[in-house]
Amino acid sequence: MIQYLISVGTLAAITAILVLGVNVRWGLAGELDLGYYLFPAVGAYVYGVITLPSAKTQPGVSYVLGLHQPFIVGVLGAAAAGALLSLCIGAVALRRLRANYFAIVTVATTIIGYTFISQYTPLFNGYNGLYGITQPFADNLNLTLQGYSDFFFGLCVAALIAIYTVLELIRRSPFGRAVKAVRENEVAALAFGRSVYKLRLKAYVIGGVVGAIGGSLLVNYVQAFSPTAWSPLETFLLYGALLVGGTANNLGATVGAVVVLIAFPQLALLLPDFGKNADALPAIENMTVGLLIILTLYFRSGGLVPELKTMNGQLRTGGHWNRRASKTPPDLEARDVAAAA
């Protein structure tokens, strides 16, 4: 049972990282990226080809690189690939396209990426994908299977905490506030001198990097990655998790990931057996998860943890702010403000 919970917890931590990436793009910046799963997938593939040995050592397999590098190099490579891909797509799609058109472009880009990766075998071994990915630090640690599962769970939780902390610092910073301002009213942000394009592109890249890091952990967990492991549709589950948890709020994103992608499917497992059709139960499980998402959104439209009011890095109540405000010198001039800025 403990082993099972460790396994589920590991998946929950990885999924939470993926949803945090969606949250930066959609929750914070309002970029409806319907092709988000491309970034975890690219992160997974790039991690794979950096850590795997050369394809020449394995007959019938072909992929680029094969550098046989350690875990950390693989993760950094995946993050860099996520950033580069985000820059390429974002630089085009975010400059001129707005809202719906941007969403359509992201879907189209992911379909192109999915088809290319599936069909062009020399890149990531085509539809068969990458397999035989070694577990990080397994050789150095000499742990039992159980012990290694515990270690990898700890590694994923540590990665989640690190990414959560970084994203929380960003969300509470003036940069996060400016990105939210762009999301809330782009023209007003322009009118007050914000470069909307640059702010949106930065948020897009951050989301891509987080997604790619999540993907690199995911490929460690499943130890293989092929187009069957991901499709453009996976993105919608991540959005479902974010909406249920609460958008523009890292706590909500994490809670949503655990609830929708881990707890709901576990609840669906409690359903009784339906007939002798082997496909019936998975289908009913999927429908149950969908229904639970709809019910949660119906009864709690802001999500389980709605967007929090933050100010200058701290959650604020009226009293708290007023007490601080009364201590600030009232005679500051506009030029002081300009100097500070």
The residues binding another protein (CB under 8 A) are 166, 169-170, 173-178, 180-181, 184-185, 187-196, 199, 202, 206, 248, 307, 309, 311-313, 316-318, 321-322, 324-325, 328-338, 340-341
Report H helices in 185-273: 186-191, 196-222, 234-245, 250-258, 264-268
Nearer to another protein, 44 or 209 (CB): 209
DSSP string for residues in 74-91: HHHHHHHHHHHHHHHHHH
Nearer to another protein, 83 or 107 (CB): 83
Q: Find the shortest distance in angstroms from Cβ 74 to another protein.
A: 23
Q: How many CB atoms lie within 10 A of CB 40?
A: 34
Q: Does residue 311 sit in helix, strand or coil?
A: strand
CA nearest neighbour of 200 among 221, 212, 222, 182: 182
Nearer to another protein, 145 or 341 (CB): 341
Q: Which two tokens stand for residue 203?
A: 């948020």
Q: Find the shortest distance in angstroms from Cβ 210 to another protein.
A: 13
DSSP state of 63: B
Q: Find the shortest distance in angstroms from Cβ 317 to another protein.
A: 7
Nearer to another protein, 80 or 143 (CB): 80
Q: Find the shortest distance in angstroms from Cβ 10 to another protein.
A: 27
Cα 45 from chain centroid (whole Å): 16
Nearer to another protein, 282 or 302 (CB): 302
Q: Find the shortest distance in angstroms from Cβ 199 to another protein.
A: 8
Q: Cα separation of 340 and 195, whole Å?
A: 20
Q: Find the shortest distance in angstroms from Cβ 273 to another protein.
A: 46
Nearer to another protein, 169 or 287 (CB): 169
| Number of residues written out for the chain | 341
